[in-house]
Amino acid sequence: MKQEQIIKVGMADLNFAVQGAVLRTTGLGSCVGVTLFDTKSKIAGMAHVMLPSSDIARDSSFNIAKYADTALPELIRLMKAAGAAPDRMVAKLAGGAQMFAQLGKSDTLRIGPRNVESCKNILSVYPIPILAEDTGGNYGRTIEIDSFTGILHIRSVQHGVKEL
């Protein structure tokens, strides 16, 4: 068996993979892992989004991978440059949990659901269809997408492994 190449995507980070390489991000809590996949060119992309909108950025030279509204356009641009076509892309989402469910009242603490909503809004602009999602809940997730099959593997402490 061929050794899989794993490309790590950090918190507030994004990247793409080709030729069967695997994109991986660990410990998604309220952050959302957005994966895009172009079935024809076999190019996969992943963004680990931390906050819903760059409107709240208080530093001028912010990291565009951090916010949903700046990370997704950048990811799509990178994948396009690598040969993917936005109209063939499909999306899968994971994460956006409320890690401390008891604290769901204030807006900061509802950040998970807000992140998911914002990612969906941005995808709908293109539009890129959302094939599947595993979002919400109160637990963390580690995800991997295979750039050959587009299958998204999701692992959590309480619920084991599932595939989307």
Site string for another protein, 2-21 (x = CB under 8 A): --------xxx---------
Judged by CB under 8 A, does residue 57 bind another protein? yes
Q: How many residues belong to the site for another protein (CB under 8 A)?
A: 34
Question: Judged by CB, which is closer to another protein: 85, or 101?
Answer: 101
**Alpha carbon separation from 150 to 55, 69, 98 (Å, rounded):** 32, 23, 27
Q: Which of 9, 23, 31, 128 is catalytic?
A: 31
Q: Is 31 a catalytic residue?
A: yes
Residue 152 CB, nearest approach to another protein (Å): 17
> Closest Cα partner for 146 from 122, 134, 119, 164?
164
Site string for another protein, 71-90 (x = CB under 8 A): --------------------
- Beta strand ranges found along the chain (DSSP E): 6-8, 13-18, 22-28, 32-38, 43-49, 89-95, 130-135, 141-146, 152-156, 160-163
Residue 13 CB, nearest approach to another protein (Å): 8
Distance in angstroms (rounded) separating the CA atoms of residues 48 and 32:
6
Contact 40, 85 (CB under 8 A): yes
Judged by CB under 8 A, does residue 50 bind another protein? yes
Q: Pick the binder of another protein from 78, 90, 99, 132 (CB under 8 A).
A: 99
Q: List the catalytic residues.
A: 31
